[in-house]
């Protein structure tokens, strides 16, 4: 067994970007792991650490040297290596000389293509300490850093200036110079609690010594858990519960090395302002955790995470309260000012805001969306007038002072202002629901008006942007069209709106100026949305061939598409499924070879064999049962009944010659198979299913 040691790599920096810290730490680990695998250490155990001032890795039990490597060099073929008298040729002598040996010391290797001269040698493995500096440098160069910075008068570049470097292999420092810093064994503790260097004796001591005396929790996950626990405990002391968004928790974890949770308070009068505005201020601007009661109502408290244990916590608390007060006062002012005029007064102002140069202003867009929302509502048991009104108000809150200061509150403030103006409650609710779902897994609009508006808004964007030739390209999707397409699908499927997607797209296209030729983009948009539908099902574990089998039938209504997918997925679990899928493949292959026009109906008088009579009879019986079920979308029940065709179908192919010499018999049997195939095709193309 080769000797092993632990290796510690630490890059000490100025404060790293908090939102990028986790990604940098993971990328650094992946880069080092890739280098280790290339060097032959694929089973190395790595642990990464990340704080605002450091990226670090601990690699356990790393061998002191690479394993020796057997090197084989092939020379000339034996027939070319020796002459007729058995003397080495110049080719053999030259090869031996290049290997540093005599011809007699070369070995022979037999292959299926002949016998060759070969030279076998052992290449000693490199010392690990010699490999690590280049390995670290390569990993650092590969980090996802959009914009690197320089410092001092050096050419080195990194996300932030580097101030110290630890490369500790066992109890020895690996000599290296990276980012203009010489490697050593000294790390740094907390900037205020322990600014002095900390001498590390061994990599395994790293976490312990950083914590005590360094007052740094090196492990990101451990620090995150500590912040959550402290925040929840402080909230409980306040008689409430902390609102802890995972993204905010990650960001705060990336900002502190020694977290200490402190409570703060604010004036109760601010609770008259919509809670979302206060919460947005606390979370997005101050990185505080709001506190709510058992019913989810906001309490006049917040929790902040300090990066030190202060001798005077009251002063820290007062400082945070002092910072948040003017921001809450601004929100209160905007709230009071905006309500002095109805939301609808901003409709005229939408004419001054350009949505897209070729697609017009927000006022133009509101007109298009209103017409489309009215159409959707009238075809989905909604209220057309409410959908129209909601669409005309939908972008008005963008012109309010509150939303201009807090853009993340668009839609939310529209709902508050619409309720204040005594608009219909569903119209007000739709102001917020127009943006749902905002991301994968987000909730859907709960009201019919909200669904109509959310659909109309997305369809208008999709058709319009495609019509002006700005479809997504690669990773670029400035109008978030992929997300819009997925939102359309989720609303139609999960919201159970049984509407035709092509019809909706055509209606959306009809709202644009004829000169734009939006109708020409409909097919392209439809294909784009269906591509998103493929991903929607793959994410749910639906097999790709199940999706393809349904797609072959091009159902126009996504809800109908979904019912077929679910039915085919359930059918595949039946014991009869494999045999019937194979039969459908066989039938499709037969039908492809038919060059004449198929007969429209099966003639009973030409059913000569018992097996074909049995199949025809069972097919006629089941057709009358399943056709009504398919008409109302009960595909699962229809397929369960069609599973009863397995025995007569198997018997038919076992006992009946389809391509009979008699043309009349042959055509009749082909017609029977066509009838069978057509029945299954009312759900999906089962010939596309794989075993």
| DSSP class per residue in 222-272 | HHHHHHHHHHHHHHHHTTSEE---HHHHHHHHTT-SS-EEEEEE--GGGGG
Higher pLDDT, 548 or 150: 548
Nearest to 359 by CA among 512, 249, 233: 512
What is the structure's pLDDT at 663?
84
**Model pLDDT for residues 373-385, shown as the tens digit of each residue:** 999 999 999 999 9
Same domain? For 171 and 135 the reply is yes
CB atoms within 10 A of CB 334: 21
Q: Which of 9-18, 33-42, 107-116 has the lowest mean pLDDT?
A: 107-116
CA distance 384 to 395: 18
> Mean pLDDT, to the nearest integer, of 115-134?
87
* Share of residues in the chain with pLDDT > 70 (%): 99
Nearest to 250 by CA among 239, 259, 238: 259
User: pLDDT-derived band of residue 2, with 50, 70 and 90 as boundaries?
Assistant: low
Number of domains in the chain: 5
Nearest to 104 by CA among 117, 115, 113: 117
What is the structure's pLDDT at 596?
65
Same domain? For 396 and 516 the reply is yes
The angle subtended at Cα 348 by Cα 344 and Cα 351, nearest 5°, is 135
Of 338, 373, 406, the one marking the end of a domain is 338
**Model pLDDT for residues 626-678, shown as the tens digit of each residue:** 999 999 999 999 999 998 888 988 898 888 888 888 888 888 888 888 888 88
Query: What residues contact residue 160 under an 8 Å CB cut-off, 6+ apart?
Result: 13, 14, 15, 16, 17, 149
Judge whether 109 lies within some domain: yes
Same domain? For 114 and 157 the reply is no
Range with the largest mean pLDDT of 58-67, 123-132, 263-272: 263-272
Same domain? For 24 and 131 the reply is yes
> Mean pLDDT, to the nearest integer, of 581-606?
79
Same domain? For 506 and 613 the reply is no
Judge whether 402 lies within some domain: yes
What is the structure's pLDDT at 597?
64
Judge whether 232 lies within some domain: yes
Chain-centroid distance, C-alpha 120: 50
Same domain? For 28 and 174 the reply is yes
> Mean pLDDT, to the nearest integer, of 402-429?
97
Judge whether 284 lies within some domain: yes
Q: Which of 31-35, 104-108, 271-275 has the lowest mean pLDDT?
A: 104-108
CA distance 103 to 93: 6
User: pLDDT-derived band of residue 437, with 50, 70 and 90 as boundaries?
Assistant: very high
Higher pLDDT, 77 or 32: 32
CB atoms within 10 A of CB 628: 10
CA distance 201 to 210: 12
Same domain? For 83 and 116 the reply is yes
- Is pLDDT of 536 > 60? yes
- Is pLDDT of 432 > 90? yes
The predicted model scores a pTM of 0.82
Paired with 74 in beta bridges are: 118
Of 524, 541, 558, the one marking the end of a domain is 541
Q: What is the residue range of 169's domain?
A: 4-66+127-211
**Model pLDDT for residues 337-374, shown as the tens digit of each residue:** 999 999 999 999 999 999 999 999 999 999 999 999 99
User: pLDDT-derived band of residue 118, with 50, 70 and 90 as boundaries?
Assistant: confident
Same domain? For 250 and 328 the reply is yes
Same domain? For 11 and 87 the reply is no
User: pLDDT-derived band of residue 526, with 50, 70 and 90 as boundaries?
Assistant: very high
CA distance 517 to 255: 52
Whether the CA torsion 539, 541, 542, 544 is positive or negative: it is positive
Instruction: Give yes or no for a contact between 669 and 658, defined as CB atoms under 8 angstroms apart.
Output: yes
* Share of residues in the chain with pLDDT > 90 (%): 71
Q: Is the peptide bond before 309 cis (omega within 30 degrees of 0)?
A: no
Instruction: Give yes or no for a contact between 598 and 673, defined as CB atoms under 8 angstroms apart.
Output: no
**Model pLDDT for residues 673-682, shown as the tens digit of each residue:** 888 888 889 9
Same domain? For 90 and 18 the reply is no
Of 180, 211, 242, the one marking the end of a domain is 211
Judge whether 371 lies within some domain: yes
CB atoms within 10 A of CB 440: 11
DSSP tag of 281: I
What is the structure's pLDDT at 120?
84
Paired with 504 in beta bridges are: none
Judge whether 116 lies within some domain: yes
Three-class SS state of 191: coil
Judge whether 547 lies within some domain: no
- Is pLDDT of 441 > 60? yes
- Is pLDDT of 603 > 90? no
Judge whether 562 lies within some domain: no
What is the structure's pLDDT at 592?
78
What is the structure's pLDDT at 178?
93
Instruction: Look over the chain and give the mean of its residue pLDDT values, rounded to a whole number.
Output: 93
Same domain? For 105 and 142 the reply is no
Same domain? For 227 and 206 the reply is no
CA distance 331 to 406: 9
CA distance 431 to 410: 9
Instruction: Go through the chain and tell me how many residues it has.
Output: 691
**Model pLDDT for residues 53-74, shown as the tens digit of each residue:** 999 999 999 998 888 777 788 8
User: pLDDT-derived band of residue 456, with 50, 70 and 90 as boundaries?
Assistant: very high
**Model pLDDT for residues 313-341, shown as the tens digit of each residue:** 999 999 999 999 999 999 999 999 999 99
């Amino acid at each position: 067994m080769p000797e092993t040691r632990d290796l510690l790599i630490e890059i000490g920096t100025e404060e790293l970007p908090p939102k990028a810290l986790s990604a940098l730490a993971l990328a650094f680990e992946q880069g080092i792991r890739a280098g280790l695998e290339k060097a032959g250490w694929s089973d190395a155990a790595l642990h990464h650490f990340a704080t605002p001032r450091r990226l670090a890795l601990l690699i356990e039990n790393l061998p002191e040297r690479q394993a020796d490597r057997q090197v084989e060099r092939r020379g000339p073929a034996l027939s070319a290596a020796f002459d007729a008298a058995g003397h080495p040729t110049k080719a053999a002598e030259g090869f031996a000389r290049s290997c540093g040996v005599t011809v007699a010391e070369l070995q022979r290797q037999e292959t299926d293509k002949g016998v060759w001269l070969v030279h076998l040698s052992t290449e000693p493995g490199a010392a690990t300490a010699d490999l690590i500096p280049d390995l670290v440098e390569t990993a650092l160069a590969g980090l996802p850093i959009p914009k690197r910075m320089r410092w001092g008068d050096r050419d080195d570049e990194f996300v932030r200036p580097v101030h110290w470097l630890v490369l500790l292999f066992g109890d020895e420092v690996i000599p290296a110079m990276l980012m203009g810093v010489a490697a050593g064994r000294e790390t740094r503790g907390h900037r205020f609690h322990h600014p002095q260097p900390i001498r590390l004796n061994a990599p395994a001591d790293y976490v312990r010594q950083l914590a005590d005396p360094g007052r740094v929790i090196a492990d990101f996950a451990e620090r995150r858990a500590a912040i959550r626990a402290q925040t929840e405990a402080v909230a409980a002391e306040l008689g409430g519960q902390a609102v802890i968004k995972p993204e905010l928790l990650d960001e705060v974890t990336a900002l502190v090395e020694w977290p200490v949770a402190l409570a703060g308070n604010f004036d109760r009068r601010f609770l008259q302002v919509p809670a979302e505005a206060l919460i947005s201020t606390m979370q997005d601007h101050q990185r505080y955790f709001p506190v709510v009661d058992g019913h989810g109502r906001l309490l006049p408290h917040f929790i902040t995470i300090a990066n030190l244990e202060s001798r005077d916590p009251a002063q820290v608390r007062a400082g945070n309260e002092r910072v948040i007060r003017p921001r809450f006062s601004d929100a209160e002012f905007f709230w009071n000012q905006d309500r002095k005029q109805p939301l609808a007064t901003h409709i005229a102002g939408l004419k001054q805001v350009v949505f897209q140069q070729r697609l017009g202003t927000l006022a133009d867009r509101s007109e298009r969306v209103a017409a489309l929302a009215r159409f959707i509502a009238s075809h989905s048991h909604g209220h057309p007038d409410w959908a129209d009104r909601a669409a005309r108000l939908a972008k008005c809150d963008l012109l309010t002072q509150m939303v201009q200061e807090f853009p993340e509150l668009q839609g939310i403030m529209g709902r508050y202002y619409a309720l204040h103006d005594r608009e219909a409650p569903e119209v007000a609710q739709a102001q917020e629901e127009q943006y749902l779902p905002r991301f994968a897994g987000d909730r859907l609009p709960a009201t019919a008006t909200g669904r109509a508006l959310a659909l109309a808004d997305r369809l208008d964007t999709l058709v319009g942007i495609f019509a002006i030739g700005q479809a997504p390209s690669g990773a670029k999707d400035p109008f978030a069209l992929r997300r819009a397409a997925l939102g359309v699908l989720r609303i139609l499927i999960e919201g159970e709106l049984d509407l035709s997607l092509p019809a909706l797209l055509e209606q959306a296209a009809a709202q644009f100026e004829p000169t734009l030729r939006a109708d020409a983009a409909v097919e392209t948009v439809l294909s784009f949305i269906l591509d998103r539908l493929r991903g929607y099902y793959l994410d749910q574990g639906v097999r790709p061939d199940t999706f393809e089998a349904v797609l072959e039938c091009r159902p126009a209504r996504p809800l109908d598409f979904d019912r077929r997918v679910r039915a085919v997925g359930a059918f595949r679990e039946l014991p009869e499924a494999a045999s019937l899928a194979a039969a459908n493949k066989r039938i499709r292959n037969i039908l492809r070879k038919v060059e004449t026009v198929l007969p429209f109906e099966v003639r009973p008088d030409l059913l000569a064999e018992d097996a074909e009579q049995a199949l025809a009879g069972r097919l006629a019986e089941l057709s009358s049962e399943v056709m009504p079920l398919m008409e109302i979308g009960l595909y699962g029940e229809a397929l369960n009944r069609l599973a009863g065709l397995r025995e007569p179908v198997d018997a038919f192919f076992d006992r009946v010659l389809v391509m009979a010499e008699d043309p009349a018999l042959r055509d009749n049997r082909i017609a029977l198979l066509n009838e069978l195939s057509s029945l299954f095709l009312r759900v999906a193309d089962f010939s596309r299913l794989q075993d």
